[in-house]
Amino acid sequence: MAKISTTYIRSIIYRLFITINIVLCSFIYIFLIFLPAKYKYKVLSYWPKIALYSAKFICGLNWTIKGIEHIPSNGDFIILSNHQSTWETLFFISILPKNVCYVYKRELHWIPFFGWGLALLNMIPINRSKGAAALRQMIKKWKNKLDGTHCLIIFPEGSRSPSNKIGKFKLGSAILALETKSNIVPVALNSGKFWKAGSIAIHPGDINVSIGPMIQIEKYTKAEEVTKSAYEWIKHELLKIETEDSKNS
């Protein structure tokens, strides 16, 4: 009981800290509006780092990375990852050496402070209700960023899934990869085991992040084949993570 109480207290402290922090940062961000995009990114990307590392120090939420050598040092590429919690949205932008770009629903811009800062980052917001038009817009915007310095993050499930499940992958990310000739790096993670969607509690523990070998897009001609390759690797890797966790518990 005491352990559960401590977890909730730490979680509330963390959420209060992050809320106050983002409000304060928002006043600083006002002065960034007229800066070039690359300078906005450098400054704005500090907030996810603060949020990630404060979760580590306040809530005890650590992480272990396997396969970091699969992240290419040159060229643009796409990361396809399963999606279980808020944690991975903080993790990728904080840890990866590239300029990280997310595909996300445009409605996030309406969230006070957080959404306003997100809008300044020049990423790829989409209107999901537009279907094919949203995909075309996504392809166009990603093509405009292909300069060798960017990494595009896509959660192909479309929404968060429970920690022991993986949702069906949508084809849009594979079509994007084929159209732009962008290689794919699959990532599997189990963040939802500790930071569940819709829960106040953030439990201490060690999130496993497994980065897979690059999927060379030139070997494929159909989006279904690309999607299956990424899905099968992530699904298999999640099973391995779950099995290892069971052995160690």
Angle at 81 between CA 80 and CA 87, to 5 degrees: 140
Instruction: Kindly state the tokens that stand for 80.
Output: 């396809």
CB atoms within 10 A of CB 185: 21
pLDDT of 249 reads: 61
Instruction: Kindly state the tokens that stand for 248.
Output: 């160690």
pTM: 0.90
Name every residue whose Cβ is closer than 8 Å to that of residue 218 and which is 6 or more positions away in sequence. 181
Phi and psi angles of residue 166, each rounded to the nearest 5 degrees, phi first: -135, 130
How far is Cα 194 from Cα 163, in angstroms, rounded to an integer?
A: 9
- What band does 39 get if pLDDT is binned at 50, 70 and 90? confident
List Cα–Cα distances, 201 to 5, 15, 216, in angstroms.
Answer: 10, 10, 39
Question: Is residue 107 within 8 Å of residue 118, measured between CB atoms?
Answer: no
Q: Compute the mean pLDDT over every residue in the chain, rounded to the nearest whole number.
A: 88
pLDDT of 2 reads: 53
Three-state SS letters, 76-95: CEEEEECCCCCHHHHHHHHH
Domains in the chain, start-ordered, CATH in brackets? 2-248 (3.40.1130)
- pLDDT reading at 127 higher than 60: yes
Mean pLDDT of the region 97-108? 84
Per-residue pLDDT of 187-207, as tens digits, reads 999 999 999 988 899 999 999
